[in-house]
Structure 1
Amino acid sequence: MTTLSRPGVERNATPYLYGTELGAIAEVLASGQYGHTAVTETFERQVADFLGVREVVAVSSGTAALHAALVAAGVGPGQEVLVPSMTFCASVQAVLSAGAEPRFVDIDPATMCTTPDLVQEALTDRTTAVMPVLFGGRAIDLAPVADLLDRRGIAVVEDAAHAFGSHDRDGRPVGAHGHLTCFSFGPIKNLTCGQGGAIVPRSPEEAERLRILRLLGMAESAADRAASTTYQVTATGFRYPLSALNAAIGTAQLAHFDQTAAVRRALWRTYRDALAGLPGVEVVDVDVERSVPHLCVVTVPDRDRVWAEMRRDGVGVGVHYPPNHLQPAFARWARPLPATEHLAGRLLTLPFHQHLTEDDVHRTVTVLRRALNTADAR
């Protein structure tokens, strides 16, 4: 696999397994306990400390985090959740898994994120939750509609899969705003557990509800149940625990996250500067001074041809994302979204991860320039 083979995928097969990660995994393997254990709970405490919040509930994936958060917020059949169409399909699938329906929301073309005005325009009598998607790592400020949402009992369930480590304009970490915030720690996220996710609850009671939800409705973990002759299933639940193996990777990753964040910011700035003045190319702004970028996305003319030319040259560009309201599975909830539809055929994701070099970035931009010239010539 070459450095630029796929967007967001690292240059070798085991990019995260450095000494600390290998040692942490070895300790879990030696313990013989691989499920939810004290290692998981240590990871939760460390993430909570990093974010400056009271509690964090770790789960098996970002999708599991969104689903469990919606259920904990009381979202269910007959209700709607506002969600941008410009997101990974997991956001929408989580809404459907909770028994609710998506109501798709448009975006600001400059940021790919929804706005307070767009949220307010999309509200209906059936709206029970709003799921802002922090595209590329950028924080979203819904303060202008916060009172309205509170009065109507509408929960904010943040899809912060891209945004671990990012901050808002006031310097508060994403996750520390009093919302139900959901992170993904999947293979290519800013912080990875190999696979995993987490929820920042709004109260101790909600934290306890989420802990029971993730363990099939039981309060005791597998390790605790093994030391007991009885256990109780007290609620409906899901099999969403974060394993000790995954938590160990996350704990090791967190120890050097500041370095990861600095590298990602530097590489994003390198892209921004190298792309400046390239005809027809605009960089989607992630507010890099406050964000830990997860993606580097540009808009280009004749996107599909440029995509094909760059792939032929060995640069693994991609698309984040084909709009969900145009997907066959979600067609029944489609509604006009002018900005999303205008951008759908122009978005191009450039290779971006902390194992790139500046030379890799400049090579990508050179190939992009050549692809644009080829497209123009035709």
Structure 2
Amino acid sequence: MAQQGGSPEAGDGKMIPYGRHIIDDEDIAEVVRVLRSDWLTTGPAVQEFEKRISEYTGAAHAVAVSSGTAALHAAMHALEIGPGDEVIVPPITFAASANCVVYMGGTPVFADVDPNTLLIDPAEVEKKITPATKAVVAVDYAGQTCDYDKLKDICEKHGATLVGDCCHALGARDEHGRMAGTMADISILSFHPVKHITTGEGGMTLTENPVLAERMRIFRNHGINLDASARSKKCTWVYEMQDLGYNYRITDIQCALGTSQLRKLDGFLKKRRELAALYDNIFAGEQEIEPLRVRDGVEHAYHLYVVRVPARKREKVFEKMRADGVGVNVHYIPVHYHPYYRKTFNTGEELCPAAESAYEKLLTLPLHPAMKPEDIDYICDRLKQSLKDS
């Protein structure tokens, strides 16, 4: 079975990337099957992928779209976010978690994170809630679930809707055994190549609410109530544009890959957890390397393996490890630091002290299922040496 995206041998002069996909012959065969079929987009492979993700997560409704960002945008549309509405988001996340609010004319409000996990802090959410707060976006940073029980209580008390950005956490479970993607009013998945499974680019929304699901289905198709597949089944050319939507459709080609990848997800997760445990064991007792804390009882999905190193050494360590072929990264620059947010929403330093302090120390180490234990040994050796030399 041919594999693509495998890790290089430790220390052989090639770069070990922080994340990477694995594509095998089964995946390729599924894509070829669709290429030879009558449907390349908005066809049965899309519906099959949605069904399989629903079954895997336990979510009642799944709506596949062209990216995780499109899924976030669809969620904000379904919730009718608009001018004058505030949506609370954490600063340690990819910019799309906040951008989706801006797309709708709303205002993102940044609530600080727990300094140990970098997950949004429910106490900080409560501080930032106002009568204008319409929703809260919780990000399952690095692959562990947020405290959805506390967040849900806060949202219900203030009449806000809870959105779970679970793009890092497919396959994770919380302390009660609940699957990521089922604990918020709307949850978001991403299938970018560095995520747990990939469709190339792609995303999905999950919800228990059929009304929200239908709004998102229409939104992904220009605001039109019937897509080509549905019109074919009804033997009609008639459709109605009921709202202003976007072309956020995903193809059958991509969804065939996604369904094939999903069959391997549990194996990918097992490998990620094994590799993370190797990191944990090596770093136990290290004074200058501090992994993020995992919440008690959580079954982590380990999209990312993030450590904190001394802020004064981080830049040099980053450069030295890259020079040694280790593709370290930093996740993330706080969203409120970006020039657009500074200019548009007057954000900046001292807005979220815990996130800002953590950012100065963050370092993401490579973690993906094609890696081997010897890769972990090499990465850890290089990190320790880089700290010593910095």
**How far did 1:85 drift?**
0.8
The answer to whether the 8 A contact 1:103-1:333 is kept is no
Aligned residue number for residue 11 of structure 2: none
Q: What's the offset of the Cα at 1:34? A: 1.4
**Post-superposition shift, 1:145?**
4.6
Task: Name 2:291's counterpart in structure 1.
Answer: 283
Does the 8 Å CA contact 2:89/2:110 hold for their aligned counterparts?
yes
1:166–1:174 Cα contact (<8 Å) kept = yes
Once the two structures are TM-superposed, the CA of residue 308 in structure 1 deviates from its matched residue by 0.7
Q: Which residue of 2 aligns with 1:325?
A: 336
Matching residue of 1:101? 107
Is the contact made by 1:270 and 1:361 (CA closer than 8 Å) also made in structure 2?
yes
2:24 — aligned with what?
A: 18
CA deviations over 1:148-202 (Å, ceiling 9, x no partner): 4224321111111101111110001012224210111111101211111111123
Show the counterpart of 1:300: 309
Structure-1 separation of matches of 2:56 and 2:148: 23
Instruction: Map 1:83-102; keep pairs closer than 5 Å.
Output: 83-102=89-108
Query: Is 1:345 matched up with 2:360?
Result: yes
Give the paired residue count.
Answer: 371
- Of 64, 87, 91, which residue of structure 2 is paired with 1:81? 87
**Does 1:356 pair with 2:364?**
no
The match for 2:46 is 40
Instruction: Classify the secondary structure of the residue corresponding to 1:322.
Output: coil
- The answer to which of 229-238 and 256-265 deviates more is 229-238
Relative to structure 2, which stretch is displaced further, 202-211 or 297-306?
Answer: 202-211
Deviations 1:64-94 (A, max 9, x none): 1111101101211111111111111111211
Q: Which amino acid aligns with 1:236?
A: L
1: CA distance, partners of 2:151 / 2:337: 28
Secondary structure, counterpart of 2:48 in structure 1: helix
Q: Is the 8 A contact 2:83 2:105 kept in 1?
A: yes
Q: Tell me the C-alpha RMSD between the 2 structures.
A: 1.7
Whether 1:244 and 2:252 are equivalent positions in the alignment is: yes
Cα deviation per residue 1:293-316 (whole Å; 9 max; x = unaligned)?
100000001101110111111111
Say yes or no: does 1:167 pair with 2:173.
Answer: yes
**Deviations 1:263-287 (CA, angstroms, capped at 9, x unpaired):** 0110111111112222211001345
Asked whether the 8 Å contact 1:7–1:349 carries over to 2, the reply is no
Shift of 1:61: 0.7
Partner of 1:315: 326
In structure 2, the residue matched to 1:263 is 271
Q: Secondary structure at the match of 1:50?
A: helix
CA distance in 2, matches of 1:313, 1:6: 10
Whole-angstrom distance in 1 between the partners of 2:294 and 2:190 = 18
Which residues of structure 2 form unaligned runs of 5+? 9-13
Contact 1:136 1:286 in 2 (8 A): no
Q: Letter of the aligned partner of 2:22 in structure 1?
A: Y
Distance 1:66 1:60 in 2: 11
Change (3 A) 1:94 1:6: farther
The answer to whether the 8 A contact 2:18-2:328 is kept is no
Percent identity (aligned): 35
CA deviations over 1:240-276 (Å, ceiling 9, x no partner): 1121111011100111111111001101111111122
Bigger CA drift: 287-296 or 46-55?
287-296
Separation in 1, partners of 2:196, 2:74:
22
Structure 2 partner of 1:194: 200
Q: Provide the secondary structure at the position in 2 that maps to 1:132.
A: strand
AA paired with 2:292? V
